[in-house]
Amino acid sequence: MTIAAADLIAGMAKGMAVLESFDTERQRLNATQAAERSGLTRAAARRHLLTLAHLGYLESDGSAFWLSPKVLRFSGSYLASARLPRVVQPTLNRLAAETKSSFSAVVLDGSEVVIVARSGNYGAPARTTAYGLHLGARLPAHATSTGRMLLAGLQPAALQDWLKGRHLARLTPLTTVEVAGLRQAVAEARRQDWCLASEEHELGVVAIAVPLRDLQGRMVAALNVVVSSARQIDAAALQRDLLPLLLDAAREVRGML
């Protein structure tokens, strides 16, 4: 959403930038590190860190700062009020119980995708990936089935803007790191209306995703299933056995969005 400059509260935007500078790579930051990651001066970053700590969103030992449990109020409020997670959750749970696999609903957020609903394990490995799959987990869009599926839903101009100057990190030897290659993979996902990513985000992990559209035809999320090589399910079996279930699930929940 774009707003007029007069309506923008710059201080709030800077405070959110500092809050968002904490992630899995940097769980603890001092003022200098927060400044580098948020694009602020050290003095400004320090004031925002102190204010956020005063409000209870950060904890500190006097030098370093880290997120407090209070930040979960944001995710808790979203999960309790947003329609998408509530609508898809029963379907994800049913699929997991039937197949002993892990299913998720995912949305695009900048260069990453975010899990907004996830099935129970029901016999699936609790940690399919190195970081585990959990609500709120963020994964690189370029190396995941859901990311490519969601990129396929962008208008051509929006996709071009997303790709422009984008650094595609190599996460495994199989990760697509050339923009031309990613563009081709996104075009294929758009053409076939599903996307498979094999060991590009993590070795031994294969995933397949389908678009979740509302009644107006807008892609609002992607549904996917993730399996590990330990289950001895290859890409062909994933496409044969689980893709039809995902497509049926997407049609099932579309009328409720």
Please report whether residue 3 resides in a domain. Answer: no
b/e string for 242-254 if b means 16 or more Cβ within 10 A?
A: bbebbeebbeebb
Check whether residue 223 and residue 110 sit in a common domain.
yes
Query: Would you tell me how many other CB atoms lie within 10 Å of the CB of residue 50?
Result: 14
Q: Are 207 and 123 members of one domain?
A: yes
53 and 95 part of one domain: no
Give the CATH number for residue 188.
3.30.450.40
Count of domains observed in the chain: 2
Domain match, 101 and 220 both:
yes
Side chain identity at residue 13, one-letter code:
A
Q: Is residue 169 part of a domain?
A: yes
**pLDDT tens-digit series, residues 191-206:** 999 999 999 999 988 9
Q: pLDDT tens per residue, the chain (257 residues)?
A: 778 888 889 889 999 999 989 876 788 999 999 999 999 999 999 999 999 999 999 999 999 999 999 988 887 777 777 889 999 999 999 999 999 899 999 999 999 999 999 997 655 454 444 445 678 888 999 999 999 999 999 999 999 999 998 999 999 999 999 999 999 999 999 999 999 999 999 998 899 999 999 999 999 999 999 988 656 667 788 888 999 999 999 999 998 88
| Sheet arrangement for strand 58-60 | 28-29, 65-67, 58-60
In angstroms, the CA 146 to CA 196 distance is 9
Give the number of other Cβ atoms within 10 Å of residue 80's Cβ: 9
Domain of 66, in residue numbers: 8-71
